Chain A
């Protein structure tokens, strides 16, 4: 009985690894295509590709980083923040993602200034 369980687990283990690799390969293709179209200024198409990449492989931090940049370019700062933070959660030591996030934060903080007082009489 334990031998059978072990065999099943081994089989599952060996088949899961190529599956994950396949998913990453598929996601990578989407990311590459997204980069190519973003460089031509087609940001909507790039967003579609990078969203697909993240759907295929939710732990693909580079795809999340690219998606965050695209959201930033489209002015969707909240979505950008979520994507950057997810990417950094997966890869906290990636200096390039950190650099992008810092630059993003500068803009995001400016738009959410604390000292502004809406609808208040002086």
Chain B
């Protein structure tokens, strides 16, 4: 008798659960629909017809020329995905420009057109750069054109950053290229390694031969790269900075996997490009949503 009651109770429970599921499914009418979300540009570039990707002060690994590759990539992206006309010209030797300003002896500095109109802010940063050199036990040396300065981390970039605030320099560049929007900045692409516990998925088969995927936590040594670009947008008519934006992306691979630095660079830049483009031109982001009734 008790067994029969238990059976009835179990059947009732199952039936009521099935009914509840059917009820929920029946009540919810939904329709998946594709949408395209237009994103307004962060910067009003309607005053410009041309864009000059001038070049970058780059550092990190020697395996990738961050200046040349970033300039090439941004130019090609802007050519296809923005309304601005991309100016094709040689990449500006910004490090040399910054070095000339920083390292030139005082007499030479007075004659140099690059230093004539430097702002006070730039002078301040220059001082910072010199004091850094002193603390390292090096005298500030004029740069030699055949020896490229070594930039290994973000701190090494600081002494060069004054070049972006050099209003006269950028104004001159602007005049040369018919007042374009100028894109410049810094690019750090550094090797990176990290070890620790990583969760990965592993296939397992039970005694009946059924396949299951289970998360497994293992200790792994991984290596990869960090990409830290700072894009600076300069008004070619006035030489002033309109907008600047910092990004940071990193990628890690198994220590035994050999991935060329250049392919990692492109992998990381691929992630940033939509954000970079959305600064200058409106973008449409495709996706799907669920309409409910």
Q: Which residues of A contact B213 (CB under 8 A)?
A: none
DSSP class of A's interface residues: helix, strand, loop or mixed? helix
Known: A73-B37, A96-B30, A107-B37. A113 touches B275 (CB 8 A): yes
Query: Which residue of B is nearest A122, CB measured?
Result: B164
Q: Which residues of B contact A99 (CB under 8 A)?
A: 290
Known: A28-B293, A96-B30. A122 touches B39 (CB 8 A): no
Total A-B residue pairs with C-beta atoms closer than 8 Å?
Answer: 92
Q: Which residues of A contact B278 (CB under 8 A)?
A: 110-111
Contact indicator A39/B31 (Cβ below 8 Å): yes
Binds B, one of A1-9, A10-18, A62-70: A62-70
Q: Which residues of B contact A73 (CB under 8 A)?
A: 35-37
Q: Which residues of B contact A103 (CB under 8 A)?
A: 287, 289
Contact indicator A122/B291 (Cβ below 8 Å): no
A56 lies within 8 A of chain B by Cβ:
no
Q: Which residues of A contact B31 (CB under 8 A)?
A: 35, 39
Contact indicator B243/A118 (Cβ below 8 Å): yes
Q: Which of B265-293 contact A (CB under 8 A)?
A: 275, 278, 285, 287, 289-293
B241 lies within 8 A of chain A by Cβ:
yes
Q: Compute how far the CA of A14 lies from the CA of B247 in the bound complex, rounded to whole angstroms.
A: 61
Q: Which residues of B contact A31 (CB under 8 A)?
A: 293
Q: Compute how far the CA of A120 lies from the CA of B278 in the bound complex, rounded to whole angstroms.
A: 19
Contact indicator A32/B39 (Cβ below 8 Å): no
Contact indicator A119/B42 (Cβ below 8 Å): no
Q: Which of A73-112 contact B (CB under 8 A)?
A: 73-75, 77, 94, 96-97, 99-100, 103-104, 107, 110-111
Q: Which residues of B contact A104 (CB under 8 A)?
A: 289
B134 lies within 8 A of chain A by Cβ:
no
Q: Which of B14-59 contact A (CB under 8 A)?
A: 28, 30-31, 33, 35-40, 42
Q: Which residues of B contact A115 (CB under 8 A)?
A: 245-247
Contact indicator A111/B39 (Cβ below 8 Å): yes
Q: Other CB < 8 Å A-B pairs besides A65-B292, A100-B289, A113-B275, 9 of them?
A: A35-B31, A35-B293, A38-B33, A72-B35, A77-B37, A94-B292, A115-B247, A117-B244, A122-B244
Question: Could you list which residues of chain B lie within 8 angstroms of chain A, going by C-beta atoms?
Answer: 28, 30-31, 33, 35-40, 42, 121, 161, 164-165, 185, 230, 232, 240-247, 275, 278, 285, 287, 289-293
A-B complex: 4 closest residue pairs judged by Cβ atoms: A62-B292, A75-B38, A73-B35, A69-B289
